Structure 1
Amino acid sequence: MEIIGYVFVIIAFARLLAEGFERLGYPGFLGEITAGMILSAVLLEMPRDQMLLMAELGLFFLMISAGLEVTPEELHYAGKKTLPLYAVTYLVMLMVTLPFTGWELNSDSLIVAAIISTASAPIVLRLKRFFGEDFIHVALSYAVISEIMSLFIVYVMVRIHETPGDYMPVVESILKDAVFIGVLMYVNYIIGIKHKVMIIRFLRRLKSDEAVFGLFMVLSTSLAFISDEIGLHFSIGGFMAGLMMHSDLVGTKQYDRLTTIVSGVTYGIFAPIFFAWRGLNFETELSFVVVEFFVLVYTVRLLLSTVMVRHGDLSTSVVRGAGIASFGVLGLLVGEIGFVSGVLSQHMYAMASLASVLGIFTSATLGRAVNHYQSKSSESVA
């Protein structure tokens, strides 16, 4: 009953602040993170192990939802543009980070560069009306790939830290990861060609939405378990399950049934806990160096993204750049993993954490400013 009471307080307060942020024109999860920051000074005796489990379930469902947002075909199509964009962004962010790590190419610089190279899918979705139909898939693809890569990079650094000087376990682990993802994509492709009709007919025979959801959860948890066993983060398995369950494979009706339940469970229960937990564990330091780091990083990244995804008019190009440069809440998790594992220093963890939150807020503010400017321009023309 104690943990249920804490969960109730966190969800209620998180959703209250989320509604307030939504009314101000910002994503609700910023309010949920803020709620966690406030509650961290109040819920001092909270059972943290149990809440950590709830927060991890939140991440698991968020990654499932991200997978359901795109199809393998869209990810493949957008990946042709996204991968070069991510590679350039990561290299530039690595160069920007080096002065703050004593010009040393170490785990600090590699992990922080990964954190500040991510994009926030919720911000991308909020700004999608500025993008155009073609670019929304590119932006979402970038968000997904950057989040997966940041998790991958931090886990590689952890493995190297665990076996210093012996890189064979790291190479073997990377090969396992590649085979796991490759096999899943191949199986999904073969099933989509040969057994799609059979799967759709089978799912149509199920009498309840709960049965569809139950089968999907068996698949998701199985892939999450395998993903964790081979050295990937368990949430990658959840994402792959969502990616495989696209409407072309399971049918539009079954896809709608599934996404309705997943969305309700994710954003009604677990996502607020995950975002609030990130706020509860938020650690930073207020100093000139930290602020200087964020201003430099965000300015360089916004300019880089705007140039690389430029469109016909400046306002659309800026919003596109802001969407790609929106950092992400997952960066807080990656920083926490690196810090707890001993591969990320406390100082760089604090800098990356503040940059992640301020980057989300700044990108959302830029989107609002452009929207206001365009509205005023339309009124003047009228």
Structure 2
Amino acid sequence: MQIIGYVFIIIAFARLLAECFERLGYPSFLGEITAGMILSAVLIDMPRGEMVLLAELGLFFLMISAGLEVTPEELHYAGKKTLPLYAITYAAMFLVTLPFTGWAVSSDNIIVAAILSTASAPIVLRLKRFFGDDFLHVALSYAVISEVMSLFIVYMMVRIHETPGDYTPIITSILKDAIFIGGIMYLNYIIGIQHKVWITMTLRRLKSDEAVFGLFMVFSTSLAFVSEEIGMHFSIGGFLAGLMMHSDLVGTKQYDRLITIVSGVTYGIFAPIFFAWRGLNFETELSLTVLEFFLVVYFIRLLLSAAVVRHRDVPTSLVRGAGIASFGVLGLLVGEIGYVSGVLSEHMYAMASLACILGIVASATLGRAVNHYWIRLAETAY
């Protein structure tokens, strides 16, 4: 009952602030993170072990939702554009971190560059009406690729830290990861060709939405278990499960069933806990150096992204750049994993954490400013 009480307080307060932020024109998860920051000073005796489990379930469902937003074909097509952009962005962020680490190359630069290269899928979805549906899949693809890569990079650095000088386990782990992801994609291709009709007809015979959701949860948790066992983060298995369950494979009706239930469970229960937990564990430092770090990072990312994904008009190019340069809450988790594992220094962890939050706010604010500009332009034309 004590845990249920804490969960109730966190969800209620997180959703209250989420609604306030939505009314101000900002993403709801910023309100949920803020709620966690405020509650960190109040819920001192909270049982942290149980809350960690619920927060991890929140990440699991968020990655499933991200997978359901795109199809393998869209990810493959958009990946041709976003992979080079991610490589350029990562290289730029790596160079930016060097002056702040005394020009010394270490795990700090590698991990922080990965954190600073991410994009926020919720921000991308919020800005889609500004840069159009044709660019949405590209921006979502970048968000997914950057989040998966940041998790992969931090776990690689943890493994190198655990077995210094011995790269055999790392190479073996990379091969396992490649075989697992490649096998899942190949299975999806084969099923889509040979068994799509059978799967669609079988799911249509199910009498309830809960049955479809139950089968999907068995499938997604199985992939998450395998993903964790081979050394990847369990949430990547959830993302792959969502990626496979596209409407072309399971049918539009079953897909809509799944989206409805997953969205309700994710954004009604587990996502508020995950975001509030990130706020509860938020650590940073406020100084001129930290603010200078963020301003340099965001300015470079925005200009770089806007230039690569430019449009014929400047406002659209800026919003596209803001969508790509929206950082992401997952960066807070990656930073926490690196810091707890001893491969990320406290100073760089604090700087990267604040950059994640300020980057999300900056991109959302830029989107609102462009929206206001377009409204005034339309009114003037009218």
TM bin (shorter chain)? over 0.9
Counterpart in 1 of 2:363?
Answer: 363
Counterpart in 1 of 2:99?
Answer: 99
Post-superposition Cα deviations, 1:357-380, rounded to whole Å, max 9, x if no partner, equal: 000000000000011011111111
Displacement after TM superposition at 1:66 (Å): 0.2
For residues 21-60 of structure 1, what are the structure 2 equivalents within 5 Å?
Answer: 21-60=21-60
Counterpart in 1 of 2:287?
Answer: 287
Displacement after TM superposition at 1:323 (Å): 0.4
Displacement after TM superposition at 1:24 (Å): 0.3
Q: 1-side partners of 2:262 and 2:133: how far apart?
A: 24
Counterpart in 2 of 1:313?
Answer: 313
Q: 1-side partners of 2:149 and 2:235: how far apart?
A: 13
Counterpart in 1 of 2:145?
Answer: 145
Q: 1-side partners of 2:145 and 2:241: how far apart?
A: 15
Post-superposition Cα deviations, 1:68-98, rounded to whole Å, max 9, x if no partner, equal: 0000000000000010000000000000011
Q: 1-side partners of 2:272 and 2:95: how far apart?
A: 35
Counterpart in 2 of 1:129?
Answer: 129
Counterpart in 1 of 2:82?
Answer: 82
1:110 maps to a residue whose letter is I
Counterpart in 1 of 2:188?
Answer: 188
Q: 2-side partners of 1:50 and 1:222: how far apart?
A: 22
Say yes or no: does 1:219 pair with 2:223: no
Displacement after TM superposition at 1:130 (Å): 1.4
Q: 2-side partners of 1:200 and 1:136: how far apart?
A: 27
Say yes or no: does 1:115 pair with 2:95: no
Q: 2-side partners of 1:133 and 1:276: how far apart?
A: 30
Post-superposition Cα deviations, 1:301-358, rounded to whole Å, max 9, x if no partner, equal: 1010111110000000000000000000000000000000000000000000000000
Displacement after TM superposition at 1:101 (Å): 1.2
TM-score, normalization by structure 1: 1.00
Say yes or no: does 1:206 pair with 2:206: yes
1:306 maps to a residue whose letter is A
Q: 2-side partners of 1:115 and 1:93: how far apart?
A: 9
CA RMSD of aligned residues (A): 0.5
Q: 1-side partners of 2:365 and 2:234: how far apart?
A: 33
What SS does the corresponding residue of 1:296 show, helix, strand or coil? helix
Q: 2-side partners of 1:284 and 1:379: how far apart?
A: 43
Post-superposition Cα deviations, 1:98-157, rounded to whole Å, max 9, x if no partner, equal: 111111221100000000000000000000011222211000000000000000000000
Q: 2-side partners of 1:377 and 1:199: how far apart?
A: 50
Counterpart in 1 of 2:254?
Answer: 254
Displacement after TM superposition at 1:182 (Å): 0.1
Q: 1-side partners of 2:342 and 2:219: how far apart?
A: 33
Displacement after TM superposition at 1:13 (Å): 0.1
Displacement after TM superposition at 1:192 (Å): 0.3
Counterpart in 1 of 2:172?
Answer: 172
1:2 maps to a residue whose letter is Q
Q: 2-side partners of 1:19 and 1:304: how far apart?
A: 33
Say yes or no: does 1:372 pair with 2:372: yes
Q: 1-side partners of 2:185 and 2:214: how far apart?
A: 22
Displacement after TM superposition at 1:246 (Å): 0.5
Give structure 2 stretches of 5+ with no counterpart. Answer: none
Report how many residues are paired: 382
Counterpart in 2 of 1:4?
Answer: 4
Q: 2-side partners of 1:150 and 1:42: how far apart?
A: 32
2:40 maps to a residue whose letter is S
1:198 maps to a residue whose letter is W
Displacement after TM superposition at 1:263 (Å): 0.3
2:169 maps to a residue whose letter is P
Displacement after TM superposition at 1:215 (Å): 0.5
Q: 2-side partners of 1:169 and 1:132: how far apart?
A: 44
Q: 1-side partners of 2:275 and 2:372: how far apart?
A: 28
Q: 2-side partners of 1:377 and 1:205: how far apart?
A: 52
1:85 maps to a residue whose letter is L
1:6 maps to a residue whose letter is Y
Counterpart in 1 of 2:241?
Answer: 241
Q: 2-side partners of 1:310 and 1:205: how far apart?
A: 47
For residues 151-162 of structure 1, what are the structure 2 equivalents within 5 Å?
Answer: 151-162=151-162
Counterpart in 2 of 1:268?
Answer: 268
Q: 2-side partners of 1:51 and 1:132: how far apart?
A: 38
Q: 2-side partners of 1:373 and 1:343: how far apart?
A: 44
Q: 2-side partners of 1:368 and 1:132: how far apart?
A: 15
Q: 2-side partners of 1:161 and 1:291: how far apart?
A: 30
What SS does the corresponding residue of 2:38 show, helix, strand or coil? helix
1:294 maps to a residue whose letter is F
Counterpart in 2 of 1:344?
Answer: 344
1:331 maps to a residue whose letter is G
Q: 2-side partners of 1:153 and 1:104: how far apart?
A: 19
1:339 maps to a residue whose letter is Y
Say yes or no: does 1:333 pair with 2:333: yes
2:19 maps to a residue whose letter is E
